[in-house]
Structure 1
Amino acid sequence: MWKLYKRDISAVAIGAKFLGCGGGGDPFIVEMLIKSVMNDEESIQVLEWQDLTDQWIAPIAIIGSPEFYSEQLPSGDEGRSSLKLYEEYTSTEPQALISLEIGGLNGISPILTALRSRLPIVDGDGMGRAFPKLKMSVLNLAVPLTPAAVYTHNYQEVIDFVPNEKASEYLHSVVQQNGGFAHLTSYVGNAKKISTAMIPGTLTVAKAIGEIVEKQISASDKQEQLQKMFGNSIYGKVEWILSGVIEQIERDFYDGVVTGRCLVLEHSVQDYRMVTIFFENEFVYVASEHDRLATTPDLIVVCEMETLRPLMASTIQKGTEITIAKVACPSILKTKKMRNLYKRND
């Protein structure tokens, strides 16, 4: 058990952006909201895996298009409103919150709801990174998606007694018809069930990433420290695939999804190599002329070369000097059951 303070929020936001793999939405807006309402002396209790006994835990998320979310000014109470909607419908009051996905803005949005609701937050999440669909959550392995409370400025509903796959499809249609994004409380369950499926320690990892990236040290020193940190976490080995400059970028935005590719010319005195990064909200895979260098579900992270600050697929620009990292994902994401969940050809 540990505590999260206002001074930690910037680091967590950087780490969440890193784990977003180019997608998941920029945490900046939520980061600013948290800092605007949190006092320096305030803290949020963080429950580790061993602290989970019989608490009722509620995963919190913003679903839909992060681009649409960033175009509107949230009040900061939307997550709590979704939680209250769930509580009123089920007559159940969760004793802790957890992130549905640690990558991107959902890595810190539950922190804002925890602050507003005066609840602890669990050190873990349901994806270990950012994924584009609810069905890709490891929580599918332990708890049902419904009842699910979906809240927007002009629409509120609790979806119940629907199989997970159909509920996910229905939520997608609700979001599309109501501004392109919504706040969600779903996959709520007892700590014993949540703890069997969740990916533990990811909030700690996000905070550690941010603390390393914020240091005033060389990029090579940051790489070395990140390798050591990830090696002692639920994740695996970090490979720094290459450094180079973005020579060309093709990007399209349709139905809330950012798709495209960018060509990167490697910085090397020994060889000339062009690689392509393909993205579909998140960076999906990296390929050279003859080989795939990295692919989902491993984490593909594109960083500024000098600072190692993570970049978004929706905003990367031609001429930017970058470093590409591949981080081995938590092993649960490579199981047969999870591979079936995150297939993108549906």
Structure 2
Amino acid sequence: METYYVRASDVNNLVTGAAFLGTGGGGDPYIGGLMLKKAIERRGPVEVIRSIKGSNAHIVGSAMMGAPIVMIEKVPSGDEAHKALKMYSELTGRKVEYITPLEIGGVNSTIPLIVASTLGLPVLDGDGMGRAFPELQMTTFYFYGVDPSPVVVLDERGNVSVVEGIDGVWAEKIARVITLRYGGAAYISLYGTTLDMYNKTAVLNTLSLALNIGELLNQSKFNEVLDYLKARILFKGKVVDVIRR
């Protein structure tokens, strides 16, 4: 098993890299970054497992659903996501041993680490997207047959809903409606699976990827980012106007 720790000094690199990988999706991770720093300062660094052999150990995804900008108006207490995870464990009767991000882009790079810090659980270095996509079923987990249901949806007031969709598309539709009724933002636990299945279906090593990209970007080493990713510039331009509808 190979592990490393995310410390408070790493958070800026993480959120910068996550914003980069989000490619415009996943929202601004600023609030999530502040919450993660506070959690680490209170409870210590978060253990991240880069690689581990498969087993029947139970894994659950933790994320925020809805519009991340709502977090600016309704700043979360930091307890919502881990309460959703506890509810998931009570509902299924399964002990959660590892937490995984649902997506690496944007604010959902930080939510699982906050939960892990609160509950004293390790986080797996991977996710289900490698980027940030808008819907729950848009994951490699679902593509390879992992069911997102049950989906526990919880808001900052303590309201809880449990979604058992007939498939991932319906789970997304129902959870989305609930989230809107909750005020546009909610905290979810979903995609329960085994460590063995996770290793076969996840996009691996994306937390460490975000950390490395963020470190280079924060040092203004853009050319090094290109080398690290084996990428190239397709075009350059200037944004002169934004039309929102």
Structure-1-length-normalised TM-score: 0.66
Counterpart of 1:157 in 2: which secondary structure?
A: strand
Distance in 1 (CA, whole Å) between partners of 2:43 and 2:13 is 17
The correspondence of residues 87-98 of structure 1 with structure 2, limited to 5 A, is 87-98=89-100
Which residue of 2 is the match for residue 205 of structure 1? 209
1:165 aligns with 2:169: yes
| Higher share in helix | 2
Counterpart of 1:112 in 2: which secondary structure?
A: helix
Change (3 A) 1:41 1:113: closer
Distance in 1 (CA, whole Å) between partners of 2:164 and 2:43 is 40
C-alpha deviation, 1:52, in angstroms:
4.4
224, 229, 242: which one pairs with 2:235? 242
Change (3 A) 1:136 1:14: same
More displaced stretch, 81-90 vs 162-171: 162-171
Counterpart of 1:62 in 2: which secondary structure?
A: strand
Change (3 A) 1:161 1:27: closer
Which residue of 2 is the match for residue 149 of structure 1? 152
Which residue of 2 is the match for residue 119 of structure 1? 121
Q: In the alignment, is the contact (CA less than 8 A) between 1:13 and 1:31 conserved in 2?
A: yes
Distance in 2 (CA, whole Å) between partners of 1:152 and 1:229 is 39
Change (3 A) 1:41 1:7: farther
Look up the equivalent residue of 1:146 and give its one-letter code. S
Q: In the alignment, is the contact (CA less than 8 A) between 1:5 and 1:40 conserved in 2?
A: no
More displaced stretch, 73-82 vs 32-41: 32-41
Counterpart of 2:141 in 1: which secondary structure?
A: helix
C-alpha deviation, 1:41, in angstroms:
8.5
Q: In the alignment, is the contact (CA less than 8 A) between 1:5 and 1:41 conserved in 2?
A: no
Distance in 2 (CA, whole Å) between partners of 1:43 and 1:248 is 42
170, 185, 188: which one pairs with 2:192? 188
Structure 1 gaps of 5+ residues are 232-237, 253-346
Which residue of 1 is the match for residue 226 of structure 2? 227
Structure-2-length-normalised TM-score: 0.93
1:176 aligns with 2:180: yes
Distance in 2 (CA, whole Å) between partners of 1:37 and 1:132 is 27
Distance in 1 (CA, whole Å) between partners of 2:93 and 2:229 is 40
Between the two structures, name the one with larger relative contact order (CA 8 Å, sep ≥ 6): 2
Structure 2 gaps of 5+ residues are none
Change (3 A) 1:228 1:51: farther
Change (3 A) 1:4 1:51: farther
Counterpart of 1:185 in 2: which secondary structure?
A: strand
The correspondence of residues 286-305 of structure 1 with structure 2, limited to 5 A, is none
Distance in 2 (CA, whole Å) between partners of 1:171 and 1:67 is 18
C-alpha deviation, 1:162, in angstroms:
3.0
| Higher share in strand | 1
C-alpha deviation, 1:70, in angstroms:
2.6
Change (3 A) 1:40 1:71: closer
Structure 1 or 2, whichever has the larger Rg, is 1
Q: In the alignment, is the contact (CA less than 8 A) between 1:89 and 1:158 conserved in 2?
A: no
Q: Could you list the per-position Cα deviations for residues 161-205 of structure 1 after superposition, in whole angstroms to 9, with x for gaps in the alignment?
A: 632221111111111211111101001110111111100010010
C-alpha deviation, 1:36, in angstroms:
2.0
Which residue of 2 is the match for residue 339 of structure 1? none
Distance in 2 (CA, whole Å) between partners of 1:118 and 1:64 is 26
Q: In the alignment, is the contact (CA less than 8 A) between 2:128 and 2:203 conserved in 1?
A: yes
Distance in 2 (CA, whole Å) between partners of 1:91 and 1:69 is 31
Alignment RMSD (CA, Å): 1.7
Distance in 2 (CA, whole Å) between partners of 1:9 and 1:93 is 28
